[in-house]
Amino acid sequence: MLVQGWKLESVTPAAILMFHSCSSLQMRTIGAIRPQLTELFDRSCFRSFRVRALSSSSLASSNQSRGGLPRFFSQVLPSYKGDIIRLEGDEVWHMTKVLRLKTDDRVELFNGNGGLVEGSIKNIRVNGIDILAMEDPKSVLPQSTQWHVFAACGTLKGGRADWLVEKCTELGASSVTPLLTERCATISDNRVHRFERITLAATKQCQRLHQMSLNSPLKIDGLLHIINESKLSFVAVAEATPLVSALASIETESGGLLVVGPEGDFTEKEVNMIKEAGAIAVGLGPYRLRVETATVAILSTLMLWSDSKSSNR
């Protein structure tokens, strides 16, 4: 026999007496407060209470009331207030199937080059959506901080290269260039096309108006020429001077290049070539980092450093 999960034979007489006493006390207590509970749930404020299910469109309206309009990419923007353009392709699917937007819902359109305009859905058709401009288009200048990433990410597996490209976009990198090295000699065309889709999605998510450039894969020889022409370049090298220490002696530049090698790192010859071209070797602590981790760590530090320089001017 069990008493609330206890075996009766394992319970002392004193414990049984305590259990019955507590049970009686609980019943008397519940009986005493029952009228109060009945009165509470009979109040008119509860009878008039209504629960409304929120659909995707109602959530979108709530976001719109807070000024957070959903943003979509369009290579061509309306030229003036009252102008109408048609959106087609993936953005239409995102509007209608994911966000379930409807006629007269407000949206924002951007072209990836600093152009932005607020619009309203005029018509929803099978082959596209007509957007009516509610204002003249605005043009926003790119940020003054321009960091360009060169990362040997062609051999990364399990979505790690996708993550690298996505985070570089969110952090504000101006461009990402897949780097071809002795230990990372190729990258598939399919992966490059996938990077383009990831870049666009991340641009929309982080509210960037200037889309990050995704350049064609580049060999070390081509990189050396770019480093020669750059005023400031960093290359991640194990056991090199810590990045923060290297930045302490730099006062003027707020942009440049950052170079990260492949899995297994650059060869000694490649490191020497990059340093001779003018890049500063920097380290990220005592631990061995993955390619994507090192890239994001350096870029984050450089963006914060650049922002602090800009705010102090």
Domain ranges of the chain: 56-139, 147-311
- Residue 251: per-residue pLDDT: 76
Give the separation between CA 258 and CA 177, rounded to whole angstroms: 10
Mean of per-residue pLDDT scores for the chain: 81
Burial class (CB in 10 A: 0-12, 13-18, 19+), 60: buried
Please say whether the beta carbons of 225 and 279 come within 8 A: no
The predicted structure's pLDDT at residue 246: 92
- Using the Cα atoms of residue 263, residue 268, residue 269 and residue 272 in order, give the sign of their dihedral: positive
Find residue 108's DSSP bridge partners. Answer: 71, 118
pLDDT at 277: 97
CATH superfamily of 56-139: Hypothetical PUA domain-like; domain 1 (2.40.240.20)
CATH, domain range 147-311: 3.40.1280.10
Question: Over 136-155, what HEC string results?
Answer: CCEECCCCCCCEEEEECCCC
CA distance 283 to 293: 13
pLDDT tens per residue across span 264-273:
999 999 999 9
Q: Provide the pLDDT for residue 254.
A: 72
Most confident of 22-36, 39-53, 293-307: 293-307
Burial 27-51 (b: 16+ CB within 10 A, else e): eeeeeeeeeeeeeeeeeeeeeeeee
Q: How confident is the model at residue 294 (pLDDT cuts 50, 70, 90)?
A: very high
| Between residues 60 and 128, the one the model is more confident about | 128
Model confidence at 143: pLDDT above 90: no
**Residue 313: pLDDT band with limits 50, 70, 90:** low
Domains 56-139 and 147-311 share a fold: no
Cα angle 146, 148, 153; round to 5: 155
pLDDT reported for residue 312: 67
Instruction: Please check the confidence at residue 46 and state whether its pLDDT lies above 60.
Output: no
Distance CA 72, CA 86 (A): 12
pLDDT at 68: 82
What is the rounded CA–CA span in Å between residue 30 and residue 34? 6
What's 10's DSSP letter?
G
Q: What is the pLDDT of residue 10?
A: 45
pLDDT digits (tens, 9 = 90+) for 238-279: 989 999 999 998 877 778 999 999 999 999 999 999 999 999
Rounded CA separation 160/150 (Å): 15
Q: Output the pLDDT for position 250.
A: 86
Better-predicted residue by pLDDT, 148 or 97? 148
Q: 188 or 220, which is more confident? A: 220
Task: State pTM to two decimals.
Answer: 0.73
pLDDT tens digit string along 177-215? Answer: 999 999 999 888 888 889 999 999 999 989 999 999 999
Strand partners, 150: 177, 259
Over pLDDT 70: what percentage of the chain?
A: 77
Nearest to 86 by CA among 125, 134, 32: 125
- Specify the long-range contacts of residues 79-83, CB closer than 8 Å, at least 24 apart: 79/137, 80/133, 80/136, 80/137, 81/133, 81/134, 81/135, 81/136, 82/132, 82/133, 83/132, 83/133
Q: How do beta strands 2-3 and 6-7 pair?
A: antiparallel
